[in-house]
Structure 1
Amino acid sequence: MTTSGNHPTSSNSRWRVGADIGGTFTDVIAIGPDAQLVPMKVLSTPPDFGTGVINGAVAALEQAEVEPSEVGAMLHATTVATNAILEMQGARTALVTTKRFRDVLELGRLRRPVLYDLSWQKPAPLARRRHRYELDQRIHADGRIQSVDSEELAALARQLHEDGIEAVAVCLINSHLAPDVERAVAGALRESLPGVYVTASVDISPEPGEFERSSTAVVNSYVGPVVESYVSELGRTLRERGITAPFSIMQSSGGLLDAGVVVERPVQIIESGPAAGVIAVQKLAQLLELDSVVAFDMGGTTAKASLIENGQPFVANDYEVGGGMNITRSMGKGAGYTVRVPSIDIAEVGAGGGSIIGVDPAGALHVGPESASSRPGPACYGQGGDRPTLTDANVVLGYLNPAAIAGGRVTIEPELARKVLSATADRLGTEPESAARGAYEVAISSMTKAVKAVTSERGRDPRDAVMVAFGGAGPLYGAALARELGIDTVVVPVHTGLFSSLGLLVADTDYQVVTPFRDDLADVAALRETFADLTAAVTDHLHTAGDAGDIQVERILDMRYHGQRFELRIPLPDGDVDDSLLARAYELFHTEHYKTYGRSGSDDLVELVNLRVRGFVANPVTIDQALALPSDDPGERRTRTCRFDTDVATPVISRGHLSATPEPGPLVIEDMDSTTLVPPGATARIDHYNNIIISWTNTEATA
């Protein structure tokens, strides 16, 4: 469904710069009007991550010999909101709610992610109990309203000021039925408390479910001041450096959002970086016409997996953050903070290149989730790291260049890697190479959980998929992980170590709205009218934001069977909202429910919960423009000893050495931004888009 834009078509004659912050590296790609591509990888700069973005952007523009004024779009994926939660460095936050509902955050949904760990405790609420305040008001389930007393509200504002509150989340019982009541309370608090960040829950998640709405509003306010400060400071510094282009940030749902709107809804960018990588894989899957794709992203701190089916990633209506492994599915929830905003379904585990290798009291090897990050980083970086990491293990195993990585920007000191692994090997009673190989295999085992979470737990067989491995460390582990899961083919794209940044360059501008809809599904007239109102709201926002071109609209139904707690998102096909379209929606829901849960019901059991409309403007840059192979001389083929089951003399080549004819492993393929490992028993070739295609041919081989 497409509507015409009122703005002139945006010029594609200027440079676009995408910057993604990782735990170890900040990745930047600049693309010019003639598809000139300049990749840049610099160390991240915690705690001031914005400095790394500036350093990378300036370095890329200097390499391209381009003035900052020639940049037409600055695009960013950031971890600032996630870090504020994981490090508990957000604002002092208060929750304002209806009388007798202050404990809804503790009550939650009574889920427990682990059954047998008696020492496990739920994370403390981001708004402490003494910072949760009640108002003597009520919005009844039938819509009747008991108004807020203005004197009580004024007294509350004074109390919030006296308590040193920096951010406020307002969530009144049943406020989705009367959103203006809650907005009035939030507006009064903003007026009385200048400088305090205030969130009305209905402006973020206007849906039923007091716990989910309260938690989302609290998370939004908790990270709000941090995100506002970061975005404002980064925007100011960009302007000082001459980059005055529009500034957009990747949302968790996979679309770009103007930085000004992000400040109002920072909860929408918590999964910003991982979402950018999935979007790049989505565009690649569409280009290669792949039906089912597992996106596997491994960076310096974490490994992430997502599933793309029929060219579209799965999007969840809610997920949890801060619980070790971010969860978007019903199983395993309860470990983190619930956020009810659309997010690409991504499973994440603490296994990255910087993940620390250790031995537990029982003598078992473990990897992560603790990370050496970029400061001090792995021991082999020579920056003071004194604990072994997966990167150190990969150096000892011979998989990584023993001199330098990241295009020579990061020097490697292999003797330091061997030294820290020797201490671990001594505790295990083995040699450093065996300890390193053991850590590699433990990491693979951990990563399978992330892939199964987005495939098997959704009723999908991972063996039916192709894996796209990317990130700085993803191609080192992709083939072995695929082997463990029964996946036959792995695709390693160009610029794989900067693929999330590339995703920023090809992502669409996106804006979504949702409204509860509890009328009968058969009320076609009401459905048609509500969808029309939501579509108008989305297109008006995109026009106001200055987005040019045609606006495409996607309509979504949240559907479930009567008595169920969870809904499924069902995209509504294009066409007029009539009986035949609703019949198709029923059919799609039954099919998806059967895939996910192994059973389906009849039409009379179906109920509708929410209506959603997503509007987006297609990006003028397409993925194929970014897949050109650098024209550098591939250099000479070399040989390096690598440890698999045994030590093997392994050819070390560049991507340019590959051809359409499969070459047998083992192989180490070195790019500027990553290294690809092709184990024994697999083959590698290059396709006409310069992707490395790894195929398993020997069923008896060991990765």
Structure 2
Amino acid sequence: MIVLGVDVGGTFTDLILADLDRQRLTTHKTPSTPENPAIAVVRGLEAICEKGEVEIAQIDGLFHGTTVGTNAMLEHDGAVTGLVTNEGFRDVLHIGRHQRPQHYSIMQDLPWQNRPLIRRRHRHTVAGRLDAQGKELTPLDEDAVREVAHTLSDQGVEAVLVGFLFSYVNPAHERRAAEIVSEVMPEAFVTTSSEVAPQFREFERFTTAAMSAFIGPKVRRYISELQRSLHDRGLRGELHVMTSSGGVATPEMIARKPASTLLSGLVAGVRGGAAVGRHAGADRLITLDIGGTSADIGIVVDGRLTEADARSASIAGFPVMLPMIDIHTIGAGGGSIAYLDRGGAFRVGPESAGADPGPAAYGKGGNQPTVTDANLVLGRLAPKDFLGGEMQLDLSAAQRVIGALAERLGRTPEETAEGALTVLNSNMANAIRSRTVQKGIDPRDFTLSGFGGAGPLHAAEVAGMLGVRRVLIPPHPGITSAMGLLTADLEYHALRTAFAVKGAVDHDRLTGLFDDMETELSGIFDRDGVPPEKRRMLREGELRYVGQGYELKVDFPDGPLDADALETVWREFHDKHRAEYGHAFEAAPIEIVTVKVRGIGEVDKLGTPPEVAAGGAVEPVGQGRCVFRVNDQLSSFETPYYDRSALPAGHAVHGPAILLQADSTTVVQPDWSFEVDRYGNVIMSRDEK
């Protein structure tokens, strides 16, 4: 069994080819092609097959993480989208809710008003109404729907969302309206709110579905073109795409629900970090994935990826009602630009030099100082050993752009370069605090795993700022996200609105809702060819105390949900509420708001990695002058360079040290030590003082 993981980043596209039978891994990095990410995917496919001596036709499955949908949202570069909704509700997408991101600011940015996904001229209403129980009050005006569809077509609309009140109870009106729109506009991407997010709360449901429509044509077109290009090169294995919930889905499912890919390229990194942590004995993990343009932060507790809740799940400021892994992203990466803002303050990021022209050190015409240039000036990157020697870095260009900034600051180039790294690392440490300390989690109880092309360069310093004393660097840090793709199973979700209060639960109805969802997911797995013995159905629900505005997720048991079975659910909810908010109301009534089933279809994937042979001491392959801050003073150290691929299990060294490998560079600070474990992970620990 041969599988390929491909993760498209802002600067590089990372690939890992795994022969699961022989436990053989081949890795490769190629520059990304932002204008058409599929170009880099195909180039990388051809290159890694040549490197791994494998024919493209031998690959049994390709697992892909994409940022096409994410970038379309972040850059507000989606399709011209239209809306068909109930009379009187044309402006639900604009009004939002009474809550605001910043309660007391009159200047705050409200993206759904300032950058609407669907402009008002493209929002139309029709007669037709259901009540809260899903019963028809007013028949759907099909002639009006057809007329609206013609209007949208004349307006050049490329995607249409059909969103009606109470469709999460009864989707009949939405489905019929969507059929009519598709008849009139056969080339348009048409979706319904009940298909994307069948939950109550009109604003969030409509907004989530609007995102799916907004990015739908671009995502569908990209996946279709990628499939065609791969097929033309001889790939016969199945293509699977990572979803925001941490599983993978087929292209057909992605075409139906493109919003499920909104975190596709980010989640793979957390999955990869969690897999590495599991083998290294670290089940409480902070993952820090630093690429060329951004840093992505995830939290793994007891081996389980932390999921975003309804209060905080968002993309580009828009609320999202979809299953998503909790990932916090900031503009901090190797390409982040250091500059003085209009007030004279020293900033690093979020602007990035990207892949083209990239940092000045890349020699492609970049003329702004970046984090990569700063690392090179400080000696933390070896100019002749970048990407395993495949790419030479231009030290003089890096010194020139850092020197120009230093003159403006009145500092030395080394002080300026180190200051840029300190600002960047502080930004990342603060972002991690927002996901840990501010949520009642002590980061000192965790291991920090640094990966991505730039993660190992910064992990130890960020950990030091947080008081974290253990850092884990995977064997192939630069392609950990691509590796994470090969640890995922097929995963689909079904959801129903329940509205059942403790003491008045219709047990047969509740059990029936779960049974219906499991039947629905079984049908999808049947189409995907997943045998019954490789399927798992995991039940969940979102609960709250009656009168609360938000819910907490709780696991539900299998089988009939009688009073005894639900007692475990009520107890777990009290426990979760106490953990989240510091208290629980044991006597208060609890309401089940929504119920969900997570369907897992097991696929062949990476297992336990091969062990690294033990050995004696290894000599450095060279040394260089590196600058570090020690005791608040910049000091220069003659620092040994090690070839990481030659380090045996058990090899231990006190810092400072630089570990060189093809996909990344690891910096061991002067007050840190490292040891290689049996799986080739580098475990760094802070020296006791």
TM-score class, shorter-chain normalisation, is: over 0.9
Instruction: Give the structure 2 partner of residue 129 of structure 1.
Output: 120
Instruction: Give the structure 2 partner of residue 505 of structure 1.
Output: 486
> Residue 284 of structure 1 contacts residue 623 of structure 1 at CA under 8 Å; is this kept in 2?
no
Instruction: Give the structure 1 partner of residue 528 of structure 2.
Output: 545
Residue 447, structure 1, aligned to residue 428, structure 2: yes
Distance change >3 Å, CA 25–CA 635, structure 1 → 2: farther
Note the C-alpha offset of 1:634: 7.4
- Of 474, 480, 487 in structure 2, the residue corresponding to residue 493 of structure 1 is 474
SS of structure 2 residue aligned to 1:34 = coil
Give the Cα–Cα distance (whole angstroms) in 1 for the partners of residues 65 and 519 of structure 2.
28
Note the C-alpha offset of 1:137: 2.1
Instruction: Give the structure 2 partner of residue 228 of structure 1.
Output: 220
Letter in 2 for 1:205: A
Note the C-alpha offset of 1:410: 2.5
Instruction: Give the structure 1 partner of residue 151 of structure 2.
Output: 159
> Residue 459 of structure 1 contacts residue 598 of structure 1 at CA under 8 Å; is this kept in 2?
no
Instruction: Give the structure 1 partner of residue 297 of structure 2.
Output: 305
Letter in 1 for 2:530: D
Give the Cα–Cα distance (whole angstroms) in 2 for the partners of residues 115 and 429 of structure 1.
41
Give the Cα–Cα distance (whole angstroms) in 1 for the partners of residues 34 and 369 of structure 2.
21
> Mapping of 1:647-658 within 5 angstroms?
647-655=636-644, 656-657=646-647
Letter in 2 for 1:257: A
Residue 39, structure 1, aligned to residue 20, structure 2: no
Letter in 1 for 2:514: F
Instruction: Give the structure 2 partner of residue 16 of structure 1.
Output: 3
Give the Cα–Cα distance (whole angstroms) in 1 for the partners of residues 229 and 223 of structure 2.
10
Note the C-alpha offset of 1:635: 7.2
- Of 678, 685, 691 in structure 1, the residue corresponding to residue 668 of structure 2 is 678
Letter in 1 for 2:9: G
Which string of whole-angstrom CA distances, capped at 9 and with x for unpartnered residues, describes residues 174-209 of structure 1? Answer: 211211211111111011111011111100100001
Which string of whole-angstrom CA distances, capped at 9 and with x for unpartnered residues, describes residues 344-369 of structure 1? Answer: 00011000111111111232211111
> Residue 49 of structure 2 contacts residue 55 of structure 2 at CA under 8 Å; is this kept in 1?
yes
Instruction: Give the structure 2 partner of residue 604 of structure 1.
Output: 588
- Higher mean alpha-carbon deviation, 581-590 vs 238-247, is at 581-590
Distance change >3 Å, CA 190–CA 629, structure 1 → 2: farther
Instruction: Give the structure 1 partner of residue 632 of structure 2.
Output: none
Give the Cα–Cα distance (whole angstroms) in 2 for the partners of residues 475 and 559 of structure 1.
40
> Residue 227 of structure 1 contacts residue 263 of structure 1 at CA under 8 Å; is this kept in 2?
yes
Instruction: Give the structure 1 partner of residue 166 of structure 2.
Output: 174
> Mapping of 1:522-601 within 5 angstroms?
522-548=505-531, 549-573=533-557, 577-601=561-585
Give the Cα–Cα distance (whole angstroms) in 2 for the partners of residues 659 and 18 of structure 1.
26
Distance change >3 Å, CA 407–CA 575, structure 1 → 2: farther
Residue 688, structure 1, aligned to residue 678, structure 2: yes
Distance change >3 Å, CA 497–CA 352, structure 1 → 2: same
TM-score of the aligned structures, taking structure 2 as reference length: 0.94
> Mapping of 1:475-490 within 5 angstroms?
475-490=456-471
> Mapping of 1:393-432 within 5 angstroms?
393-432=374-413
Give the Cα–Cα distance (whole angstroms) in 2 for the partners of residues 576 and 590 of structure 1.
22
- Of 250, 261, 264 in structure 2, the residue corresponding to residue 269 of structure 1 is 261
Distance change >3 Å, CA 234–CA 661, structure 1 → 2: closer
Note the C-alpha offset of 1:651: 1.6
**RMSD (Å) for aligned C-alpha atoms:** 2.1
SS of structure 2 residue aligned to 1:487 = coil
Q: How many pairs are equivalent? A: 674
Distance change >3 Å, CA 630–CA 168, structure 1 → 2: farther
Instruction: Give the structure 1 partner of residue 181 of structure 2.
Output: 189
Give the Cα–Cα distance (whole angstroms) in 1 for the partners of residues 176 and 482 of structure 2.
40
Give the Cα–Cα distance (whole angstroms) in 2 for the partners of residues 55 and 629 of structure 1.
33
Note the C-alpha offset of 1:117: 6.7
SS of structure 2 residue aligned to 1:438 = helix
Give the Cα–Cα distance (whole angstroms) in 2 for the partners of residues 391 and 277 of structure 1.
21
SS of structure 2 residue aligned to 1:519 = strand
> Residue 611 of structure 2 contacts residue 678 of structure 2 at CA under 8 Å; is this kept in 1?
no
Note the C-alpha offset of 1:89: 1.9
Letter in 1 for 2:123: R
Note the C-alpha offset of 1:111: 4.7
Note the C-alpha offset of 1:112: 4.3
> Residue 274 of structure 2 contacts residue 283 of structure 2 at CA under 8 Å; is this kept in 1?
no
Letter in 1 for 2:4: V
Note the C-alpha offset of 1:677: 1.1
Give the Cα–Cα distance (whole angstroms) in 2 for the partners of residues 25 and 603 of structure 1.
55
Which string of whole-angstrom CA distances, capped at 9 and with x for unpartnered residues, describes residues 240-264 of structure 1? Answer: 1000211110001000100111011
Note the C-alpha offset of 1:411: 2.0
Letter in 2 for 1:565: G
TM-score of the aligned structures, taking structure 1 as reference length: 0.92
Give the Cα–Cα distance (whole angstroms) in 2 for the partners of residues 370 and 162 of structure 1.
38
Letter in 2 for 1:245: G
Which string of whole-angstrom CA distances, capped at 9 and with x for unpartnered residues, describes residues 83-141 of structure 1? Answer: 11222221100121111212112222355445787654322111111111111222222
> Mapping of 1:72-111 within 5 angstroms?
72-111=60-99
Give the Cα–Cα distance (whole angstroms) in 1 for the partners of residues 192 and 262 of structure 2.
18
Instruction: Give the structure 2 partner of residue 660 of structure 1.
Output: 650
Which string of whole-angstrom CA distances, capped at 9 and with x for unpartnered residues, describes residues 262-309 of structure 1? Answer: 011110001001111111222233334433111111111110111111
Which string of whole-angstrom CA distances, capped at 9 and with x for unpartnered residues, describes residues 301-322 of structure 1? Answer: 1101111111111122558xxx
- Higher mean alpha-carbon deviation, 360-369 vs 298-307, is at 360-369
Letter in 1 for 2:623: T
Residue 467, structure 1, aligned to residue 448, structure 2: yes
Give the Cα–Cα distance (whole angstroms) in 2 for the partners of residues 630 and 249 of structure 1.
37
> Residue 42 of structure 1 contacts residue 409 of structure 1 at CA under 8 Å; is this kept in 2?
no
Give the Cα–Cα distance (whole angstroms) in 1 for the partners of residues 263 and 354 of structure 2.
18
Give the Cα–Cα distance (whole angstroms) in 2 for the partners of residues 634 and 21 of structure 1.
35
SS of structure 1 residue aligned to 2:388 = coil
Note the C-alpha offset of 1:480: 1.1
Give the Cα–Cα distance (whole angstroms) in 1 for the partners of residues 228 and 451 of structure 2.
32
Give the Cα–Cα distance (whole angstroms) in 2 for the partners of residues 401 and 248 of structure 1.
37
Note the C-alpha offset of 1:144: 3.3
Distance change >3 Å, CA 516–CA 524, structure 1 → 2: same
Instruction: Give the structure 2 partner of residue 50 of structure 1.
Output: 38
Aligned-pair identity in percent equals 36
Which string of whole-angstrom CA distances, capped at 9 and with x for unpartnered residues, describes residues 582-612 of structure 1? Answer: 2222222222222222222215332111111
Give the Cα–Cα distance (whole angstroms) in 2 for the partners of residues 456 and 382 of structure 1.
41
> Residue 346 of structure 1 contacts residue 454 of structure 1 at CA under 8 Å; is this kept in 2?
no
Which string of whole-angstrom CA distances, capped at 9 and with x for unpartnered residues, describes residues 634-692 of structure 1? Answer: 77432211111222222211323365254211111112101111112111001111110
SS of structure 2 residue aligned to 1:95 = strand
Which string of whole-angstrom CA distances, capped at 9 and with x for unpartnered residues, describes residues 143-201 of structure 1? Answer: 33211112211211111111111111111122112112111111110111110111111
Give unmatched runs, 5+ long, in structure 1: 1-13, 320-326
> Residue 76 of structure 1 contacts residue 249 of structure 1 at CA under 8 Å; is this kept in 2?
yes
SS of structure 2 residue aligned to 1:383 = coil
Distance change >3 Å, CA 352–CA 637, structure 1 → 2: same
Residue 139, structure 1, aligned to residue 100, structure 2: no
> Residue 274 of structure 1 contacts residue 304 of structure 1 at CA under 8 Å; is this kept in 2?
yes
Letter in 1 for 2:349: G
Distance change >3 Å, CA 639–CA 543, structure 1 → 2: same
Give the Cα–Cα distance (whole angstroms) in 1 for the partners of residues 139 and 33 of structure 2.
49
Instruction: Give the structure 2 partner of residue 322 of structure 1.
Output: none
- Higher mean alpha-carbon deviation, 20-29 vs 401-410, is at 401-410
> Residue 271 of structure 1 contacts residue 343 of structure 1 at CA under 8 Å; is this kept in 2?
yes
> Residue 559 of structure 1 contacts residue 608 of structure 1 at CA under 8 Å; is this kept in 2?
yes
Note the C-alpha offset of 1:336: 1.2
Letter in 1 for 2:327: I
Letter in 2 for 1:669: L
Instruction: Give the structure 1 partner of residue 622 of structure 2.
Output: 638
Give unmatched runs, 5+ long, in structure 2: 630-634
> Residue 157 of structure 1 contacts residue 193 of structure 1 at CA under 8 Å; is this kept in 2?
yes
Give the Cα–Cα distance (whole angstroms) in 2 for the partners of residues 386 and 461 of structure 1.
41
SS of structure 1 residue aligned to 2:47 = helix
Note the C-alpha offset of 1:627: 7.0
Give the Cα–Cα distance (whole angstroms) in 2 for the partners of residues 599 and 101 of structure 1.
38
Distance change >3 Å, CA 35–CA 532, structure 1 → 2: same
> Residue 613 of structure 2 contacts residue 678 of structure 2 at CA under 8 Å; is this kept in 1?
no
